[in-house]
Structure 1
């Protein structure tokens, strides 16, 4: 896509980003909210990278989080109508450039087991699956804990 513009998110983007994720990330998180997005932007202003068309339409995102030790990739998402145009690759390139600039050594992404399309995209970008790891989670706070419990039938 030649008219693609990448930029970091601002607090003004929080609601737009949430609406975008509902469509493009296909509801993969049940704990996202405006406060959380704004907290991310406030804590690490360069982490949330957005892809927009020349007319300002949000078509892609990735969170390139760096905690001083690890490089974590989240929310790589592209609007369905704009997939297979190189947007995900452009976002990952920007994330990897960010990680290189801060001394990151390895990127780590969580990809749903059932999302074969995403697995192919990550593999095409040079990432590989590590089957010897499993994700362990514990929700904190009432919103996340209640939502996760309800989603898992607890």
Structure 2
């Protein structure tokens, strides 16, 4: 296997990213559509970081920065490419981005039931904060 290259996504990657997420992630999201992905890349071209090997996306992380907070979403690696250090490399790239823009801390969205993901985040130095809960209000009229 060729060593994956870490790079930011281009708008032309959007369809491949959606296919990758369907194959690699535990759960979809209402924002998993072409407009959502291309909108993310258009608003923040450095946010969607990909690992690519043999011309195929094998890993991703969204490293969002809003000028105040650093947020991580969608850390995913293809099952066939797990345990090869790809998630670590993606997180390193995200954290480098955050440091470059003046970030002080990053928060990660992790599915509670995903034990493998919790182990990955713990190994990367992240700690669960039980005192916080995410509150969500989807806008169904926009999807």
- TM-based fold match above 0.5: yes
C-alpha contact (below 8 Å) 1:23/1:79 kept by paired residues: yes
Match of 1:15 in 2: 15
Computed over aligned residues only, the root mean square deviation of the Cα atoms, in angstroms, reads 1.3
What CA deviation, in whole Å up to 9, does each residue of 1:83-141 have, x standing for no partner?
A: 00000000000000000000000010111110000000000000000000000000114
Matches within 5 A, 1:2-151: 3-53=3-53, 55-142=54-141, 144=143
**Aligned mates of 1:28, 1:42 — CA distance in 2:** 21
Report the number of matched residues: 143
Unaligned runs of 5+ in 1: 145-154
The answer to whether the 8 Å contact 1:31/1:143 transfers is no
List structure 1 segments (4+ residues) > 2 angstroms apart after TM superposition. Answer: none
Q: SS of the counterpart of 1:49?
A: strand
Using structure 2 for the length normalisation, give the TM-score.
0.96
